[in-house]
Amino acid sequence: MSNPDHPPAVGVLDQGPELTFPPGFLWGAATAAYQIEGAATEGGRSPSIWDTFSHTEGRVVAGHTGDVACDHYHRMPSDVRLMAELGLKSYRFSVSWPRVQPGGSGPANAEGLDFYRRLVDELLGHGIEPWLTLYHWDLPQPLEDAGGWPARDTAGRFADYTQLVADALGDRVTYWTTLNEPWCSAFLGYGSGVHAPGRSDGADAVRAGHHLMLGHGLAVQALRASRPQAQLGITVNLYPVTPASDAPADVDAARRIDALANRFFLDPVLRGSYPTDLAADLREVTDFGHVRDGDLAVISTPLDLVGVNYYSRHVVAAPVEGAEPEPYWRAPSCWPGSEDVRFVTRGVPVTDMDWEIDAPGLTETLRRVHEEYTDLPLYVTENGSAFVDAVVDGQVDDIDRLAYFDAHLRAAHEAINAGVPLRGYFAWSLMDNFEWAWGYTKRFGMVWIDYDSQARIPKSSARWYAEVIRRNGLAAQ
């Protein structure tokens, strides 16, 4: 966006010839319903597992909830204008299941659907391609009360909900993601319990992962039947997993974590089978009796694209006696059957999430998906970083975030040069928002949110990204 008083930040764009992306590259930014919408009790919306979780003492830092969040529900038209000012080609948002189908079953809530219809129309009116994610973690609470994702029936409920959204929005939305990061829903939600619904049982986590993927397959079939022109995909969060040394025990630790973090989802969805080593690693946890004949055929229903969310790398080592457990998503209970594997920190720069910054890992991840799994078009559907930002003289100069984006876009470009059919990139996130168990204490946005006044301030990274989009590239180093 142009602001004569504050030109695009720093020189990284101005050091030499352009690094150009392919024509038509889809430049976007992403958000999710519970993280930005607010209006938790308005328009007929019912509670989701995140409402219950965030209102339970001790679950979210400082007792933060998504009740108001960025108030996007009420500010949507001006937020879309801001996207247009940034020059976004696409906007990836999620539909709140409890807003469009309160309680998770029965007919659609017209008022809820109408919000998304207006959002999509507003986007199209500004020449911005809508990219719709059906499930970004906000399961209607009654479905959790009936067993949640560990219960098979939830997959069928998800397909029914998908049909309602397809009927309402399928005429104007081309790009559809079924699930966002099913690893988080399954292993943080039901394994470590640091995410909603806050349950902690390894077998439930594995069952949840399977039923999420089954729901994905059923949703793809429903969408394909009613919207044959739609571009359908899933978004998985992937990590390169590196052993801390060449020692066989460390190499085996990396194999185990790779199976749980990456291949647990990639293999069923793109190959129609679970990795055999995964089943062996999990034999004390589950016998996979929840997998029925025909499930894997449904799960591997052909797609049009694959979405990859990339943030960091896992470096792991074999267990040692008395090692301290790691926090958050490295908590041992996220890794059923491999709880004793150690996550190693290398002392490289980290973000405010303590996630190591590892841009080459993005190239590696994209190449792996393409070279080992699929020729389908790939999209980076999320990539970004939390840093401690500050407003100074009305501006937010988020130089660290800008450098993070710059490095990762170079890594994405390198993947394209290596033959990866990468068709787009979505920055996480358009705006600061409710960062799940961290509440509002972590800021990932290119746009600063003042949660008291709800003022929006595009940060330096936003102005820089606008320039990247305008030039369809960045400068070579």
Q: Which tokens in the block code for residue 91?
A: 């906007």
> Distances in Å between the alpha carbon of 352 and those of 160, 328, 396?
39, 13, 16
Smallest distance, Å, CB 61 to ligand IFM? 13
Q: In whole angstroms, what is the distance from residue 451 CA to residue 278 CA?
A: 44
Smallest distance, Å, CB 32 to ligand IFM? 5
- Asked if residue 446 lies in contact with residue 8, where contact means CB atoms within 8 angstroms, the answer is no
Q: In this structure, what are the phi and psi dihedrals at residue 280, rounded to the nearest 5 degrees? A: -65, -45
Residue number with CB closer to ligand IFM (73 or 274): 73
138: left (phi over 0), alpha (psi -120 to 50) or beta: beta
Q: Which tokens in the block code for residue 152?
A: 């098979």
Residue number with CB closer to ligand IFM (25 or 444): 444
Residue number with CB closer to ligand IFM (298 or 359): 359
Whose CA is closest to 310, among 385, 255, 370, 212? 385
- Asked if residue 96 lies in contact with residue 45, where contact means CB atoms within 8 angstroms, the answer is yes
Maximum distance among all Cα pairs of the chain, rounded to whole angstroms:
63
Smallest distance, Å, CB 356 to ligand IFM? 14
Smallest distance, Å, CB 169 to ligand IFM? 21
For the question of residue 382 being annotated catalytic, the response is yes
Q: Which one from 181, 356, 364, 435 is the annotated catalytic residue?
A: 181
How many helices and strands, by DSSP H and E, does the chain display? 16, 15
For the question of residue 181 being annotated catalytic, the response is yes
- Angle, helices 110-125/72-86, rounded to nearest 10 degrees: 20
| DSSP state letter for 349 | -
Residue number with CB closer to ligand IFM (175 or 274): 175
Strand-pair partners of 236: 308
Within 13 Å of residue 372, how many CA atoms lie on the same side as its CB?
10
Residue number with CB closer to ligand IFM (264 or 444): 444
- Asked if residue 145 lies in contact with residue 190, where contact means CB atoms within 8 angstroms, the answer is no
Residue number with CB closer to ligand IFM (182 or 473): 182
Residue whose beta carbon is closest to ligand IFM: 32
Cβ neighbours, 10 Å, residue 224: 16
Smallest distance, Å, CB 225 to ligand IFM? 29
Smallest distance, Å, CB 138 to ligand IFM? 11
Q: Which one from 144, 364, 382, 467 is the annotated catalytic residue?
A: 382
For binding to ligand IFM (CB under 6 A), which residues are involved?
32, 35, 181, 309, 382, 428, 435, 444
Q: What residues act catalytically?
A: 181, 382
